[in-house]
Structure 1
Amino acid sequence: MELRRHNVEVNDADPFANDWLARKGFANQLTNIIENNKQGEVVIGLSGQWGEGKTTFVKMWQKHMEKKEISSIYFDAFEYDYLEDVFLSLAIEIYNYAKANGLTVKEDYLNKSKSTYHLLQAMIAKTAPINIDSTLQEKLTHDESPILDISEVIKNSLNFALDNAFEQALKQKEVFRDFKDSLSQLATQASNQDMPLVIIIDELDRCKPSFAVEVLEKIKHLFLVESVVFVLSMHHEQLEESIKKVYGQNIDAHTYLQKFIDYPTRLPTADLSNNSNRRKYFWNQVDFIGLPVRSSHSMNRSYELFLILSIRYDLSYRQLNKALQNYKYLIASLDLNSDYSYPTMFLMVFISILKVKSGTLISKIRNNSATYQDLVEGISEVRGQNDFNLEVLQNLIRISFLTRSSFRETEHGSHESDFYNNFSSLIGEDENKVLMNLVQRLESFEDY
């Protein structure tokens, strides 16, 4: 079993073949927006929570557009976060696309990009006080007259700086206009059927606040041109927090963000109220994250328990993903020679789900103050259905509260014997440490 996360395979022939969340219909809606905005200069905001599959969706959608001959570029903003310079990062990605696709306008675009980059760097480095100071220094060094009128030098320097600033502003406008024209020409050439070039900006919410905000502003002022459509894939609440970190907590970050977006949309969530959909999604996720499948009877039974509990606790698919990841961590922490017995598997499932659903109960287990009634309350029935696996789980929770002396003094069935064999080192004379140990083991895998 590998610990690394896997990426969902995007099938070239059928991009949505692995569309476990049934989002192809939404992709068609977005494609319609593209086709109805052939002139470009449009920004689509695609919002979704972390872990909801935004990256997987946009990559499927990108392949879907490719089949419809709509050209697109995928830009991972987080991948370029370290470069600091937004213009350079995005301009390079667009040039690489033009080069890979043999666009004849690529050299003109490259030259215009270089001119714009040089100008942007000069604007950052240049400040008026330094210019005036440099002029004064030159006068003081080369003026041989015995009397130097400082006020006259300053006045002349200011006039020169203002005249120069005016000329520079005209130059800037011309350079930026030329860059935009070259980008628009590139986008027009990229499409075979008069469609805009779609540029997908992903992982924006994971970037440093300053970089994320600059991406928005550079798109608005330099890259949003005729024949180009931008798609911002983001967790918009997190991006709003980035805006506040840059401009202060008093800014209306939501209104600020909406200034950059023409079509705000939200990634559809899965309907897991349908148990058939939940089961299909669950098994796809088990395979996707690399959990062992059908390795033992106990393991398979534990997955069935997982499904039943996910219904009982009404887990969202994001919570279900997290609980499965918790389970994966716990499984990976077992001895390789472990036989994956019922007690181990079932209690790991229970703790994995409880960790995402009830911090209060996890805290009680951690502090050794949870009672049997606390833990089993409400899990005896699942939407009116009794389940043998739930009965086994309840029994395992019950015997986890037994002490070593209780085991010695009472006759027990196979489940109790298996439990004792698996957790004998954690069963004390006065207190139970089995569930506490599983919680501690899981929490050792948490983020720093």
Structure 2
Amino acid sequence: MISKLPAPIIEKDNPFKNCKLGRHQYANILTTVVSQNQGCVLAIDGKWGSGKTTFVKMWKKSLENQHFNVLHFNVWEHDFTTDPIIGMISQFRDMAEGDDAKVKFTKFAAAAGKVASGMLPSIAKGLTKKCLGEDVVELIGSAMKEIADSFDKVIDDFVEQCQSMEEFRKALENLVEFTTQDGKPLIFIIDELDRCNPRFAVKVLERVKHLFSVSNIVFVLSIDKEQLCHSICGYYGSDNLNAEEYLKRFIDIEYKLPEPNVDKFTKYLYEAYEFDIFFASELRPKNLLEEKEEFLKMARILFEYMHLNLRQMEKICAHIRLVLLTFKANQYVNPSTILILTCFRSTDSNLYAQIVSKNITVQELLNQIESTLPRNVFIEDEYDRDNVSRLAVWETARLLVAYNLSLNKHHKEELLKRIESDNGSNDSFKLLLSTKVIPIETLQEAVIWYSQNLYRNDPILPLDYTIQHIELLTSFQ
């Protein structure tokens, strides 16, 4: 069993073959966008853990197959440096193939020498040698000795000695024009920008705007816009700064990466983590044949309605697969309860801690569930073919009944009030809980059924017992 999904293999001839999210169509759209631009900054916006890096790597290979020259710069791997400019310049070296191209790159790198960074000359020279090559070091060595501690001072020195920034841009334009093909722009992908420290992230934006903004280069920023805005506010020390407006100074085109297909990805996770080894085992009780479908349906509901990102979904499934290893193949497990609790464990640690410690009442737990889960998951819809609302309410009822059971299956609180019949018919019950969102009639029906069928073929397991397995406090079977 795997404990972590391997990175998808990006095949040369069909980069999106192993994409489990159906995102090839979005790559085609973006390819059309960059094909029609001879110089701009395009931002691909997606939440952390939404698969942006995998998408841009697949798209990079697709672009290369269409004879685009593409550079990919993981800027997060370089944010330990004082300034991003050397890392950015070094990306151009690999595309300078042939003697003529190398000469143009050397001239370009030399022109950039005095705006390389605000580091100490010896450190800058060593880093430059590693990134740009021995020949470039000899050309800019003397210039690096004069670099001041402040980048503003470096810019001043550069302007004074080179007359204008045009020398740098002209050298860059010559290099790009010489190495691109068929009038296609150079695509420079900057990935993981939102993960950098705030100062470095802002520096990258400034360098793109002021130094690298030339024709025939399309910069692609792979970002979580919300997180990048937080970085910008942190850099300037003000929450009152309109960071989105600030970003518009640097970004020409914004593209919101569509939400992934949760149903496809959930099924992929089920297969990748080999849940069938447990749920389809010949040792499973025959009355539990619907476990798989119920688990997949509940997983899709929670993942979709809670707007979990791909990384969260993956970690939740990975942990549940470990949990199942602590059960014997013929044991009852209440998989949907394990799923709900693991989701809370991953996304709302405070609520999960309260459930584990049992320091809240059943009513308080119900209130917490209603405030934690999106309200639309409980709202009945006549067009809901999957009975999402009913399934969510019934699984909530199962959780409440399990929470109310001690390990010896004694009820800790009275959840139902018996109402005796006057005409000799069967007594009825009234739920002693109140709701704000959940349909009370459906919840009452579910709680009554679970309470009266604790020892049926698929019994309710006390929550303390289930939590011991979730916390991996029992031995693997």
Q: State whether TM-score is above 0.5.
A: yes
Instruction: Give 1:36's aligned amino acid.
Output: Q
Cα offset, 1:218, TM superposition: 0.7
- Paired residue secondary structure (1:342): coil
- Paired residue secondary structure (1:83): coil
Q: Does 1:261 align with 2:304?
A: no
Cα offset, 1:206, TM superposition: 0.4
Q: Name which of 227, 230, 237 aligns with 1:241.
A: 230
- Paired residue secondary structure (2:277): coil
Cα offset, 1:304, TM superposition: 2.5
Q: Name which of 52, 58, 61 aligns with 2:56.
A: 58
Q: Does 1:329 align with 2:329?
A: no
Q: Does 1:281 align with 2:265?
A: yes
- Paired residue secondary structure (1:232): strand
Which segment is superposed worse, 165-174 or 243-252? 165-174
Alignment of 1:226-237 (within 5 A): 226-237=215-226
Q: Name which of 163, 186, 190 aligns with 2:175.
A: 186
Aligned partners of 1:376, 1:229: CA distance in 2, in Å?
47
Native 8 Å contact 1:187 1:227 kept in 2: yes
Q: Does 1:295 align with 2:295?
A: no
C-alpha distance 301-190 of structure 1, shift in aligned 2 (>3 A): farther
Aligned partners of 1:435, 1:301: CA distance in 2, in Å?
20
Match of residue 435 from structure 2: none
Q: Does 1:44 align with 2:42?
A: yes
C-alpha distance 172-347 of structure 1, shift in aligned 2 (>3 A): same
Q: Does 1:434 align with 2:465?
A: yes
Aligned partners of 2:347, 2:157: CA distance in 1, in Å?
63
Cα offset, 1:166, TM superposition: 8.6
Gaps of 5+ in 1: 126-164, 273-277, 420-426, 443-448
Cα offset, 1:345, TM superposition: 3.9
Please tell me the root mean square deviation across aligned C-alpha atoms, in Å: 4.0
Match of residue 337 from structure 2: 347
Alignment of 1:345-384 (within 5 A): 345-355=335-345, 362=352, 364-368=354-358, 369=360, 371=362, 374=366, 383=384
Equivalenced residue count is 377
Gaps of 5+ in 2: 122-154, 282-288, 371-376, 411-452
Cα offset, 1:319, TM superposition: 4.7
Cα offset, 1:76, TM superposition: 0.7
CA deviations 1:179-218 (Å, max 9, x no partner) are 3223222222332211110000010000111111101111
Aligned partners of 1:215, 1:200: CA distance in 2, in Å?
12
Cα offset, 1:60, TM superposition: 1.8
Q: Name which of 206, 214, 219 aligns with 2:203.
A: 214
CA deviations 1:20-72 (Å, max 9, x no partner) are 333333222221222212x32x1111111112221122112212212221111
Aligned partners of 1:236, 1:411: CA distance in 2, in Å?
49
Aligned partners of 1:357, 1:121: CA distance in 2, in Å?
41
- Percent of aligned positions that are identical: 26
Aligned partners of 1:230, 1:285: CA distance in 2, in Å?
33
Native 8 Å contact 2:8 2:19 kept in 1: no
Cα offset, 1:79, TM superposition: 1.5
Cα offset, 1:78, TM superposition: 0.9
Aligned partners of 1:236, 1:413: CA distance in 2, in Å?
51
- Paired residue secondary structure (2:42): strand
CA deviations 1:143-200 (Å, max 9, x no partner) are xxxxxxxxxxxxxxxxxxxxxx9986331445x4333223222222332211110000
C-alpha distance 406-169 of structure 1, shift in aligned 2 (>3 A): closer
Q: Does 1:398 align with 2:401?
A: yes
Instruction: Give 1:371's aligned amino acid.
Output: V
C-alpha distance 439-178 of structure 1, shift in aligned 2 (>3 A): same
Match of residue 18 from structure 2: 18
Aligned partners of 1:71, 1:322: CA distance in 2, in Å?
34
Instruction: Give 2:342's aligned amino acid.
Output: S
Aligned partners of 1:335, 1:439: CA distance in 2, in Å?
10
C-alpha distance 9-318 of structure 1, shift in aligned 2 (>3 A): farther
- Paired residue secondary structure (1:296): helix
Native 8 Å contact 1:49 1:235 kept in 2: yes
Match of residue 143 from structure 1: none
Match of residue 106 from structure 2: 110
Instruction: Give 2:94's aligned amino acid.
Output: N
Aligned partners of 1:103, 1:230: CA distance in 2, in Å?
26
Q: Based on CA coordinates, which of the two structures has the bigger radius of gyration?
A: 1
Aligned partners of 1:332, 1:252: CA distance in 2, in Å?
45
Instruction: Give 1:402's aligned amino acid.
Output: L
TM value normalised by structure 2: 0.66
Match of residue 140 from structure 1: none
Aligned partners of 1:411, 1:253: CA distance in 2, in Å?
55
Native 8 Å contact 2:41 2:220 kept in 1: yes
Instruction: Give 2:109's aligned amino acid.
Output: S
Match of residue 128 from structure 1: none
Native 8 Å contact 1:48 1:235 kept in 2: yes
Which segment is superposed worse, 6-15 or 390-399? 390-399
Cα offset, 1:260, TM superposition: 0.6
- Paired residue secondary structure (1:260): coil
Cα offset, 1:334, TM superposition: 6.2
Match of residue 318 from structure 1: 308
